[in-house]
Structures are given as C-alpha cells and as structure tokens.
Structure 1
C-alpha cells in the first residue's frame, strides 16, 4: 500500500519499461498508465507492470472511453477498468474531455462542440462512467486545432461540464499553453477562470513549434520554458497536485526524463503546496 502523497509522476510507457524497472523507489512518487494498454496483458509486460506496482503507486489516464462520443459508453471497458484500478489500488483516474469513436475508433482525440447541448450530453456520460467505476473521475482539457462549433468559450464549456457532471479536472498545462497560442487567448486568464476545488492533477509535456502562432501538442520533446513558467503559476493557484511528465516517443535517456521530473518537484516545493488567491 502506497501511503505517501502523490506529487511527481512519470508516464508508464512500454517503450520505457526496461528503464523504469531499474528505478529506485522514491525516484518519482507514482507512474501513470493508460489502462487500455495494460488490462489483461500477460507475459513480460504484465510481469513488469506487477513489479512496478509493488514499488510505485499507479494512476490511470484513459484513452478510449470517448466521453463526448455519440455511441453508448463501452460498459465492458468500464468494468475492466474498474477491476484494473481495484487490483492496483488506483486513486486517480482521468479521461479526456473529447471523443475518439463513432462506429469505430478514430485513433485521435476530437474536440467536442462548445454548446449547452454538448455540456448536457458529455456530463450525463461522465456521471454514468463515475457510477460504473464507483469513484469520481477527472476530465482533461485537450489540445485542439479546429473547433467544430463554439457557442461559448473553451473555459466556459469546461466550467459548465465540471459543474453539471460533478467531476474533477486534470489540468494539462501544456494544452493550455498550446491552445492559448493557437486560439489567441490569455493562458493566465484561463487558469484564473478554472475552479480551484476541481483541479486534482496536472500534466506537463513537450510540444512542437510549427510556427510562431501554431503549436502542436506532440509529447515527443522536452518541456518548453514557457510551459514550465505556466506550471509554476498553476502550482501557486491550485496547490501541489499530482503531476505527470508525459513523453510518448523520441525517448531521451532516462536521466533526462528524471531531470524533468526533478524540476516538477522543485517547482512544487517552491510553491509551498498552498493555493494562493
């Protein structure tokens, strides 16, 4: 049983498994995995996960639930996810505030229209997911590059969903930075507008500078300095929440990833763990 506070985490990726197994307990506080990639997995990968779960707390960040989609929620996936979380004593589960399926998997995270109807639709599905999982979940603000329809702002949409669904928020700081640049809004004002009590975790990741006014969320590079600055501000506003460094490809040496998780920890400590007005 892992009883220490979960503050600094690293994404559990199969491509990093061999190096993660060499980590000493306490190097990071927890590891975050996509449950769909590990449910019912045996062999070397399943054995590796079991070994890691003995040394590190596990958090879950789903990829396939399609909370905003038109098709019925995948109840089999929800049941499998619940059993997975019970097995590994997962305390934090999050999913994307998006959809990724419609008569088949789209293999991408698609933005939901920012409308009152969409708020009601996705909120009902979040409540259903919470009932099936037997716990509160957090939804993550996604990066998006074209908006299907905006009757309200992204901030207003997120606030409305959090209230209507009575769920929590996983704040992806890199996505805030990327969207603020691409859609011309103030990232600091966006953070200020989010309800403090709903934020229960954060993500930081790298992105690609396609152009001065176009950033692409890739999870394939080191975290940019501007994102570190925004993360520091987020820590001051929302307190020290469980924060994961996401890296999905172009893996550098583990020492470089641990230098970034150490920076997460340092910025959390500098913020003092308090939520500031």
Structure 2
C-alpha cells in the first residue's frame, strides 16, 4: 500500500517502539495506517530506525507533532521544522498534523495549553500556519484540542475560530472526536451541531480515544482507557454526515498489550454501520 494514500475506511493506530517487533513479525496487521510523533524518532538510529523504515515502506504513516506550538508566543523553530521535513522525506510520509494549542515559552512546557479565541489570535495563528506550510511545502493538518479553561479576551466560539482558521490559512483538519465530546460537555455546547458545521472536504482523518471524569465532574482527555460509547456514537454520526474518513485510535497511557489494542481499534470498522451495537 502506498504511503501517499490513506484508505477511506482505514483503521489507524499510534506507533509505539515497544510494538515494533510484534508488528514486523506479523504477516500484515489489521491496522491500515499508523501515526507517530517525529520528535520521538528524529535523531535516533540503529535497529529501531531500520525497523521503522520497514514499516513506513509497508503502511501509510502520518507525522503527528507535539512541539510546534502553533499558537505560542515564541518565533517558529525553523531548525525543528527542517528536522521534521527531513524525517518526513526520508520515510515518505506525506501528512503532518499538529495540535491547535501552544506548548512552549522560553522552553517546552510539556502540555497543550489553550489560548484566547479572538480575531487577533485568529490572524496570528493563521499567519503562523501559512509560514509552516510554506516551509514544509505541504498543507498542515490542525487538530481541535481539548481545553479546560478560557480567557477573558475570548470573543469567539471554538467552532467559529476553527472555521475561520480553515478559511484563512487553507490548512486541513484532524477531527478529534474525543476532544470534541470532552469540550462539548465541559463548555456546554452541542457536539453534533459542531460536527455539522465542519467542511467534510477539509477533514483528512479523525481521532477517537478514551477519557476520564474528574471528581468535580469535568471530563479529562486521558487516552488511557477504552473509548466511551458517546464517542463511538459521534463517530457513527460523523460517518453519516461526511462519509468514510480514516480514523485512528489514540491510547497513550496504561497501554494494553498489542492484541487487545488491535481488538479495540477494530471496533472502528463496526462504526461504519450505524446499526451495529458497540
């Protein structure tokens, strides 16, 4: 399968180094594409890089960045972007996604932080996305990110900000359905109305994941448990609205053994049929 193409009904999984041997010894896993953070692989050589090359020659891959800090106050790190560009080129990866957040200010903050949703911020972030796209010579795919607070300066809804960003920058969208559900519960809006407002042609792929409920009632995007039924229902609704979109299971903490992870990921295929009980 060409790494340039993501299958419409594709089931994706985040690549973990500890699963390399298992994935390479299986004739062909039930996963159609993989996602990885370039930061976790740039600068590493030896056996893991050789194993990764075998996988990138077999499966489509998406680079999913962690440290671009597209909404941050610091200038864009062109040395980092050059390293990302070289890595993507080396492995024939034609997709690069990032989080709509900031994570650096005089150093990495190791968290995805919110920012004011305002017209000024919209212009600022759109301009930075255009810089990245010009540098990498490819569209940037932005992910709607879970956030747990807001700013007095915010004058726009999350939905309107995201739509404005797609329009002004020409970027594409990674639609994270778990983040959408978490935000809709925490901030009191209709997740399905948000979905209906998104332009189908800009959605490159989707994320689903598990979340936890804080003791004070807030939902937290934890990626450490099975996907909630409400998020499966959003995936089914997305399929009804937009048709098939490649969808990836995120599971980043308390990761189960690979066979159980593959079993959970295969439930994505069941969501193709809205009448299947999950």
TM-score scaled to structure 1, two decimals? 0.92
Is 1:114 aligned with 2:104? no
Give the conservation status (yes or no) of the 8 Å contact 1:25–1:55. no
* Aligned equivalent of 1:152: 156
Structure 1 partner of 2:236? 232
Which residue of 219, 223, 227 corresponds with 2:223?
Answer: 219
| 1:93 equivalent among 90, 93, 96 | 96
- The corresponding residue for 2:15 is 12
CA distance in 2, matches of 1:129, 1:258: 34
Q: Which residue matches 1:196?
A: 200
Q: What is the CA–CA distance in structure 2 between the aligned matches of 1:62 and 1:5, rounded to whole Å? A: 18
Match of 2:130 among 110, 127, 130: 127
Equivalent position of 1:77 in the other structure: 80
| Partner SS, residue 107 of structure 1 | strand
Do 2:23 and 2:29's aligned partners in 1 also have CA atoms closer than 8 Å? Answer: no
Shift in Å at residue 127 of structure 1?
0.4
1:138 corresponding residue in structure 2? 141
- For 1:157-191, what per-residue CA distance to the aligned partner results, in whole angstroms no more than 9, with x for missing partners? 11111111111110000000101111111111111
**2:253 aligned partner:** 249
Contact kept, 8 Å, 1:25 with 1:56, in 2: the verdict is: no
Q: Which residue does the alignment assign to 1:274?
A: none
**Aligned-residue offset at 1:143:** 0.2
**Would the aligned equivalents of 2:182 and 2:221 in 1 still touch at CA under 8 Å?**
yes
Structure 2 segments unaligned to the other structure (5+ residues): none
Task: Report the counterpart of residue 207 of structure 1 in structure 2.
Answer: 211
SS of corresponding position for 1:176: helix
Partner of 1:67: 70
By how many angstroms is 1:63 displaced? 0.6
Q: Which residue in the other structure is 1:2 paired with? A: 2
Quote the Cα distance in structure 1 between the aligned partners of 2:26 and 2:208: 21
Measured after TM superposition, the shift of residue 241 of structure 1 is 1.7
Please, what is the CA RMSD of the aligned residues?
1.7
Aligned residues: 270
Counterpart of 2:263 in 1: which secondary structure?
helix
Q: Secondary structure at the match of 1:55?
A: coil
Q: Is the CA contact 1:68–1:97 (under 8 Å) kept in the aligned structure 2?
A: yes
User: Are 1:200 and 1:242, in contact at CA under 8 Å, matched by a contact in 2?
Assistant: yes
Q: How far 1:192 moved relative to its partner?
A: 1.1
Q: What do the CA deviations read for 1:197-220 (whole angstroms, capped 9, x no partner)?
A: 211110011111224841110111
1:191 aligns to what SS in structure 2? Answer: helix
